[in-house]
Homo-oligomer: A and B are copies of this chain.
Amino acid sequence: TSGVIYARSSKLGVENVSIHRLQVLDDSTLAIRLVPRHLYKLWMAHKMEKKDLEVSISVGVHPAVHLAAASSPPFGVNEFHIANSLLAGELKLAKCLKVDAYAPAEAELIIEGVISWEREALEGPLVDILGTYDVQRMQPIVEVKAVTHRKDYVYQAIVPSSVEHKLLMGLPREALIWEAVSKVVPEVYGVRLTMAGGGWLHAVVSIRKQREGDGKNALLAALAAHPSLKHVVVVDEDIDVYDSEAVEWAIATRFQADRDLIVVKDVRGSTLDPSSDQERVLTSKVGVDATKPMDKPKEKFEPATIPSTSRVEGLIESLRKRLAIR
């Protein structure tokens, strides 16, 4: 399962809210997956001083809380503030009973506990966004101190590798890519992390191109903005990034591999991709510039439309009437 986890380090003067995978080990302990990001930093700081880290784990929260917890603001920003903004100031927090922590007042279920500074357990194998099993790892343990919940509470699960899982992880990354590409090309029209790429590995970006090399610069910017990205396609503004058929059609008719392809090997990627070198976290990245080349007439690349005549329009009109179509 997973939950929204709040922790505070009085020493660092920092509060943090994030989502983590939790594995029930027994009635009073959970294994928690900590990737080396903010909560990991807090835990490490406590580990140095041989102190457990007090946390609250909230299950069943407002989508705004989920989204805020999934975003990556700079270290030190309390993600509950972001959620509060998204909710127009309506987020209510409750003080925990047994630990020094806060949790959304309206959460269906709140687990209070501490992340042990010394105990670890073998976590996994669990399914990740790509739908394959992640490797097993030694991970810290949460010792449960108290559990509170609403009456008839609803248990909200994020099914691993479900669309919800992918959207929560991918959405903040799409924003980062959008921002980065915006800085190098005149305009960005769309960014999608595809579901087939786990909402994480494959991106499609549509841009308005002004100069021949803009497509390649957009590729570099996207790869830099989200280091887990493996493959990225950039298309013109007439291609809808959510229409996979259209994107493939753009590749079929606007892309030439010897000119429009970037391959970068032995670069850091995602540990989730089983085809990569998962130990050294190295992968090969691909950029595909499927924008129209500017040295050929634009019309050659445009989809044909069925020309209309007044007679045809008349026929359609009468058909509509007869069929009572709106």
Contact A220 B267 (CB under 8 A): yes
Task: Report the contact-size class of chain A (Cβ under 8 Å from the partner).
Answer: 35 or more
* Min CB–CB distance A126 → chain B (angstroms): 9
A211-B281, A217-B227, A280-B295 are known contacts; what are 8 more A-B pairs with Cβ within 8 Å?
A: A130-B253, A131-B304, A132-B253, A212-B281, A220-B264, A230-B252, A262-B264, A280-B294
Q: Report B-chain residues with C-beta under 8 Å of the C-beta of A259.
A: 266, 284
* Min CB–CB distance A100 → chain B (angstroms): 29
Contact B262 A131 (CB under 8 A): no
Interface residue? A324 (CB, 8 A): no
Interface residue? A309 (CB, 8 A): no
- Could you tell me which A residues sit within 8 Å of B by CB distance? 127, 130-133, 160-161, 180, 183-184, 194-198, 201-202, 211-214, 216-217, 220-221, 223-225, 227, 230-231, 244-249, 251-259, 261-269, 273-276, 280-286, 293-296, 299-304
- How far, in whole Å, are A263 and B211 apart by their CA atoms in the complex? 20
Q: Report B-chain residues with C-beta under 8 Å of the C-beta of A255.
A: 275
Contact A227 B304 (CB under 8 A): no
Contact B196 A249 (CB under 8 A): yes
Known: A251-B231, A255-B275, A275-B255. A264 touches B216 (CB 8 A): yes
